[in-house]
Structure 1
Amino acid sequence: MDKITIQNLEVYANHGVFPEETALGQKFLVCAELWTEIRTAGRTDDLEYSINYGTVCQEITRFMKEHTSRLIEAVAEQLAEYLLQTLPLLKGITLEIKKPWAPVGLPLDTVSVKIERCWHRAYVAFGSNMGDRRSHIDSGIQVLRDDPAIRVGSISDMIVTEPYGGVEQEDFLNGCLELETLLTPMELLAVLQKAEQKENRERLVHWGPRTLDMDLLFYDDEVLEEPELAVPHPEIPKRRFVLEPLSQIAPYKMHPVLKKRVKELLEELSDRE
């Protein structure tokens, strides 16, 4: 990934724990590495295909002056999120905020916080087999669209499938979607559960009927095993109602553990069936 670098932009702003810091203000130095693709800009000599670093400097200055925080950790987090959400060509950012006048009562050069944040690509499966199935699904997807840290991309066709797991119930309406997010896997899981709860999802019977089910399938190429979440979703290779719609929008997505593409997993499942 290409980078545009800003070094030691001086911003005078009012951030800090102590009253004199918020009342009088102090100098901060901001360093930023903007991750973007600049090949087209380099070949065409057209700023339209790159990020205007002058505009970025102005936005950093304005944001830090208008939004006051106690911790420079909060300043860095909020500023990185703001820039990633507002600059369409920005894929990721390394952001360092230095505090030269840190009131620690000891001689030092500077204190700083440095973070890396970027857009992550994830895939989500959704399904419903109670009431107005399409309405439940649309409502759940809207919850994702309403979150500023999520960009919903491709959405598969919805397919009617028989229930999975041996519990007698109505047929499901299933599909998959692609999204970009600034959230961690656990934070994204919380948003998916929020969407389910909005549709009054109840977890009474394992593999039972539900108004809305939203499962995180992939998150970049990460492999995660937590009590509340496993990524990639362990049931992906067994579920046609996941693989079929997923192959519509991401046939060449590689499973990071099995080292097989989605279309290959679907073909293998069809052979087994």
Structure 2
Amino acid sequence: MNEVYLSIGTNIGERFDNLKQAVRLLTEHEAVDIKAVSSVYETAPVGFVDQASFLNIAVRLETTLNPFAMLSLCQQIEQELGRVREFRWGPRIIDLDILLYNHENIEAENLIVPHERMYERAFVLVPLVEISEPTNVKLERAHEVLASMDRQREGVKQWKQSVTVEEFVRSGN
């Protein structure tokens, strides 16, 4: 089994429902077993700032999919939920990013793992650290970087507390 950490974010439409649908679609895939979903965090946009705030979560899962098949599944879910890529860092109905895939370093044209900006973004690290323990070098580094980001952490506010995967998919606002 492969251990994978995803970051999922949204700032268009019914944001919490978008997150729930993405998690539900992941749970429905026969090769994916979601082990944990972080609390939901509301954050200001990064890059293009003239847009609505985001809701973000991290998900820890196990899968038999290889990294590129996992990327394909993430993109398929984005497409199914109506993701349109108008411009970089623009508004999005859903965004699924692979943060970590086992202990691997991957540098391909369409996939970089660990995610290339993961260690720069509190909105990624706060939920990631919540559902992880520093069991490998990349997670250890995530814990260390987040500990040094006090000022950036202030813009990451817990919006909804963590629950089980099943409760997350079934929950209301």
Output the TM-score relative to the length of structure 1. Answer: 0.54
2:94 and 2:135 map into 1 onto residues whose CA distance is: 25
Question: CA offset at residue 260 of structure 1?
Answer: 4.0
Q: Does 1:263 align with 2:143?
A: yes
CA RMSD of aligned residues (A): 1.6
RCO greater where, 1 or 2, for CA within 8 Å and sep 6 or more?
Answer: 2
Stretches of structure 2 that go unaligned for 5 or more consecutive residues are 154-173
Q: Which residue of 2 is the match for residue 231 of structure 1? A: 113
Aligned length: 153
Residue 262 of structure 1, CA deviation: 2.1
Q: What are the superposed Cα offsets for residues 192-241 of structure 1, whole Å, 9 maximum, x if unpaired?
A: 11111111101111000000001000000000000000000011111100
| Separation (CA, whole Å) in 2 of partners of 1:262 and 1:250 | 10
Rg comparison, structure with higher value: 1
**1:136 is the counterpart of 2:18:** yes
Structure 1: distance between partners of 2:11 and 2:89:
11
- Whichever residue aligns with residue 268 of structure 1, its letter is S
Output the amino acid matched with 1:184. N
Equivalent residue in structure 2 for 1:209, among 91, 110, 119: 91
Structure 1 moving runs of 4+ over 6 Å: none
Structure 2 residue aligned with 1:222, among 104, 117, 121?
104
Q: Which residue of 2 aligns with 1:150?
A: 32
TM-score, normalised via structure 2 length: 0.83
1:246 aligned onto 2:128 = yes
Q: 1:237–1:269: 8 Å Cα contact kept in structure 2?
A: no
What residue identity is the alignment partner of 2:149?
Answer: L
The verdict on how the C-alpha distance between 1:157 and 1:272 changes in structure 2, with shifts beyond 3 A counting, is closer
AA aligned opposite 1:216: I
Asked if the contact 2:38–2:59 (Cα under 8 Å) also holds between the matched residues in 1, the reply is: yes
* Alpha-carbon distance between aligned partners in 1 of 2:60 and 2:52, rounded to the nearest angstrom: 26
Fraction of identical pairs, as percent? 33
Instruction: Report the secondary structure of 1:244's partner residue.
Output: helix
**Residues 232 and 255 in structure 1, CA contact (< 8 A), matched pair in contact too:** no
Mapped pair 1:173 → 2:50: no
